[in-house]
């Protein structure tokens, strides 16, 4: 991963990692934060039949969840140290049935802003040596400041 963004917080990677560790849904999915760079994040999770829909594919809600988290953390990596992040909008395109041994979400910031950041992400299914694009997301994230109920 490589971007040309400068993070506002020199400890961005630690802040992203600490926030990720507190996200219980990521723990439920056995998700792993694979990499963090300014404006870019990669998250993986293994196949588990508990995450499937009636045809045995990973449920669209699970795909959207992992893509949303990846987009949020890509945006969060560029935010100031006193900011928290929330999603305000996203659109998921399901491109192929989500079947694989492992899934990798790669998110990138398209346009960072003071309050609003636009992101995109792709979800790949991995089966052996095969890697297939199965979903994509466009997301809009908001930097949140001075709200006691919403912390980093």
- The per-residue pLDDT for range 36-60, each reduced to its tens digit, is 999 999 999 999 999 999 999 999 9
Q: Which domain holds residue 66?
A: 12-144
User: What is the count of structural domains for the chain?
Assistant: 1
**What's the pLDDT at 134?**
98
- The answer to whether residues 39 and 2 touch, using CB atoms and an 8 Å cutoff, is no
Closest by CA to 71, choosing from 23, 33, 39, 26, is: 39
Residue 152 clears pLDDT 80, i.e. is over it? no
pLDDT at 103: 98
Specify if 59 maps to a domain: yes
User: Cα separations (Å) of 106 from 36, 46, 69, 88, 143?
Assistant: 10, 15, 10, 19, 20
How far apart (Å, rounded) are the C-alpha atoms in residues 139 and 64?
11
Domain of residue 79, CATH code: 3.10.129.10
The answer to whether position 3 is within a domain reads: no
The model's confidence at residue 149, banded by pLDDT at 50, 70 and 90, is confident
The mean of the pLDDT values for the chain is 95
**Is 150 among the domain residues?**
no
């Amino acid at each position: 991963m490589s971007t040309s963004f400068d993070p506002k917080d020199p400890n961005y990677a630690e802040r992203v990692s600490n926030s990720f560790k507190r996200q219980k849904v990521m723990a439920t999915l056995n998700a792993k934060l694979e990499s963090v760079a300014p404006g870019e994040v990669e998250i993986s999770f293994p196949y588990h039949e508990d995450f499937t829909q009636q045809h045995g594919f990973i449920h669209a809600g699970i795909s959207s969840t992992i893509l949303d988290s990846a987009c949020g953390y890509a945006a969060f990596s560029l935010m100031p140290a006193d900011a928290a992040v929330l999603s305000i909008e996203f659109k998921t395109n399901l491109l192929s049935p989500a079947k694989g041994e492992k899934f990798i979400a790669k998110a990138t910031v398209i346009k960072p802003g003071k309050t609003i950041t636009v992101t995109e992400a792709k979800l790949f299914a991995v089966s052996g040596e095969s890697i297939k694009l199965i979903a994509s997301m466009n997301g809009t994230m908001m930097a949140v400041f001075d709200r006691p109920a919403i912390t980093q």
